[in-house]
């Protein structure tokens, strides 16, 4: 009794010290992110407008906008959005992110109704373009080697995907490297309605396959070499996929894990996610206004925290159900993770979203796994394009067919609410049944 008394006294003291330290860290993080946010808002709101005649860098790929072309230009480190038509659009439509163009025009403030949405994308104004022309040395003269290599790979993969029909090629680009610019409005709508839109946003699955590809090349290297190669590959892949919020989160988590492995730290997955969210919100506080960022973070939180428990519930005491649990648990966990964000922003997801994801996500993973090497071969050797793209083409059509069927069935809204709400309750009931069965066996 007396021997346990010191532990009884010390434990509450240690708990209070840990709580105090954690509280101080949380307050410090909130303060730093708040300071960075204030700084960023001040930066996007203090801009001088007027005539410009300079060389600008494309901060985005040109994309169709009605009858015109929309592009974001970086001028002296500040981003301006332009919508151009006719011959002026022809001067920029063939360019890519990171390349340069000489622009003549006049900058102005974004219209009030669009100002905040533009500012959180770091767009500080609009530019009325009078002319575009090639700068001295050509559009690529200012682009960095990293961007040039990423653009070259995208070009090769785009040529390889040309062996498919237009819809399949557009979906392939979305699944493999997150380029949805060529997707038709019908395709975008059916993937949203079916709950499969996230498949066309590059995420952890794509990054995982990238790391699997480079793993054999780094296995026999020293830890610092492995870390450097991994970080370099992640940065390059982020540029290839246009630094979308989902790929920032996925690459960030992989980068934190690579550094942790090199220094001998073994953090839990939820700790890696938390650190990644804190770091990137400090670097870019405007991510807090990105729905894609929160969907990606919430889905990952669901995977990390929910997959083991759901897997255990689905498996129960029957080891024969392990493969079924392996198939279903990650999808259910991710869907439950994104549910609060999805409901708050888009409303209740389709009742068919879960079965559609169970049918489409594994096949989409196959496209991601074989898509890059297959498209690279097809784009580099045209004679091999059809056989190289045969398997990816079948897989892409399956994913599109699942989305089409799920979107066409379109359950009524009340059924969406009921079915989606029943999933967590069903898991709880299954867990209770499993516990009761184990108690009876005992």
Task: Mark whether 187 and 92 lie in a shared domain.
Answer: no
The Cα–Cα gap between 393 and 165 comes to: 9
Percent of the chain with pLDDT over 90: 41
Domain count along the chain: 2
Task: Mark whether 77 and 196 lie in a shared domain.
Answer: no
For 18-58, how does the pLDDT look when each residue is reduced to its tens digit (9 = 90+)? 777 777 777 888 888 788 888 888 888 888 899 999 999 99
Residue where one domain finishes, among candidates 99, 133, 167: 133
Task: Mark whether 298 and 397 lie in a shared domain.
Answer: yes
Determine the distance from the C-alpha atom of residue 320 to the mean position of all C-alpha atoms in its chain, rounded to a whole number. Answer: 34
> 123: domain CATH number?
2.40.50.140
Nearest 5°: the CA angle 82, 87, 88 is 25
Its pTM stands at 0.85
User: Cβ(410)–Cβ(350) under 8 Å?
Assistant: yes
Residue 319 clears pLDDT 70, i.e. is over it: no
The Cα–Cα gap between 74 and 125 comes to: 11
The Cα–Cα gap between 78 and 125 comes to: 9
Residues whose CB is less than 8 angstroms from the CB of residue 442 and which lie 6 or more positions away in sequence, other chains included? none
The Cα–Cα gap between 105 and 112 comes to: 21
Confidence of residue 12 (pLDDT cuts 50, 70, 90): low
Helix (H) or strand (E) holding 102: strand 100-108
Domain containing 166 equals 150-441
Domain assignment present for 177: yes
Residue 48 — φ and ψ, nearest 5°?
A: -95, 130
Nearest 5°: the CA angle 301, 306, 309 is 160
Q: How distant, in Å, are the alpha carbons of 258, 338, 384 from that of 373?
A: 24, 31, 12
Task: Mark whether 100 and 242 lie in a shared domain.
Answer: no
Residue where one domain finishes, among candidates 76, 100, 133: 133
CA-nearest of 149, 252, 273 to 207 is: 252
Task: Mark whether 58 and 158 lie in a shared domain.
Answer: no
State the average pLDDT for the chain.
86
Residue where one domain finishes, among candidates 133, 159, 185: 133
The Cα–Cα gap between 280 and 160 comes to: 34
Task: Mark whether 189 and 277 lie in a shared domain.
Answer: yes
Task: Mark whether 168 and 57 lie in a shared domain.
Answer: no
pLDDT of residue 15: 65
Domain assignment present for 2: no
Domain assignment present for 398: yes
User: Cβ(57)–Cβ(98) under 8 Å?
Assistant: yes
Confidence of residue 205 (pLDDT cuts 50, 70, 90): confident
Domain assignment present for 27: no
The Cα–Cα gap between 218 and 203 comes to: 23
**Rg for the chain (alpha carbons), in Å?**
25
Residue 14 clears pLDDT 60, i.e. is over it: no
The Cα–Cα gap between 428 and 313 comes to: 8
Task: Mark whether 80 and 169 lie in a shared domain.
Answer: no
Q: Residue 243: how many CB atoms within 10 A of its CB?
A: 15
- For 93, the token pair is 């439509």
Task: Mark whether 56 and 202 lie in a shared domain.
Answer: no
Q: How far apart are the first and last CA of the chain?
A: 33
């Amino acid at each position: 009794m007396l021997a346990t008394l010191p532990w009884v006294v010390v434990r509450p003291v240690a708990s209070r010290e840990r709580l105090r330290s954690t509280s101080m860290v949380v307050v410090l993080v909130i303060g730093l992110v708040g300071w960075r946010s204030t700084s960023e808002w001040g930066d996007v709101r203090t801009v001088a407008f007027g005539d410009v005649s300079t060389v600008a860098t494309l901060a985005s790929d040109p994309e169709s906008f009605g009858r015109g072309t929309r592009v974001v230009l970086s001028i002296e480190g500040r981003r301006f959005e332009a919508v151009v038509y006719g011959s002026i659009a022809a001067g920029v439509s063939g360019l890519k992110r990171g390349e340069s163009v000489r622009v003549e025009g006049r900058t102005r403030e974004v219209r009030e109704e669009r100002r905040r949405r533009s500012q959180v994308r770091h767009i500080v104004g609009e530019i009325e373009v009078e002319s575009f022309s090639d700068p001295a040395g050509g559009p690529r003269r200012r682009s960095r080697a990293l961007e040039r290599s990423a653009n070259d790979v995208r070009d090769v993969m785009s040529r390889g995907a040309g062996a498919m029909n237009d819809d399949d090629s557009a979906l392939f680009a979305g699944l493999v490297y997150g380029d949805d610019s060529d997707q038709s409005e019908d395709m975008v709508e059916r993937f949203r309605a079916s709950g499969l839109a996230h498949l066309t946003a590059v995420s952890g699955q794509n990054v995982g396959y990238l790391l699997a590809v480079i793993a054999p090349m780094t296995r026999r290297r020293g830890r610092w070499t492995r870390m450097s190669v991994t970080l370099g590959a992640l940065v390059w892949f982020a540029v290839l996929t246009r630094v979308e919020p989902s790929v920032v989160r996925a690459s960030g988590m992989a980068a934190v894990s690579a550094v942790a492995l090199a220094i001998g730290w073994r953090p839990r997955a939820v700790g890696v996610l938390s650190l990644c969210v804190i770091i990137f919100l400090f670097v870019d506080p405007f991510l807090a206004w990105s729905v894609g960022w929160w969907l990606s973070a919430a889905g990952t939180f669901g995977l990390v925290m929910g997959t083991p428990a759901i897997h255990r519930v689905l498996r129960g005491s029957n080891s024969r159900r392990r493969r079924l649990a392996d198939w279903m648990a990650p999808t259910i966990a991710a869907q439950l993770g994104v549910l609060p964000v999805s409901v708050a922003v888009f409303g209740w997801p389709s009742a068919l979203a879960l079965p559609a994801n169970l049918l489409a996500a594994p096949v989409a993973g196959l496209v991601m796994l074989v898509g890059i090497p297959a498209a690279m071969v097809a784009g580099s050797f045209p004679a091999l394009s059809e056989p190289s793209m045969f398997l990816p083409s079948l897989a892409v059509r399956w994913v599109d067919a699942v989305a089409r069927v799920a979107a066409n069935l379109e359950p009524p809204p009340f059924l969406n609410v009921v079915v989606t709400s029943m999933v967590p309750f069903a898991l709880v009931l299954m867990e209770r049944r499993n516990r009761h069965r184990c108690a009876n066996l005992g």
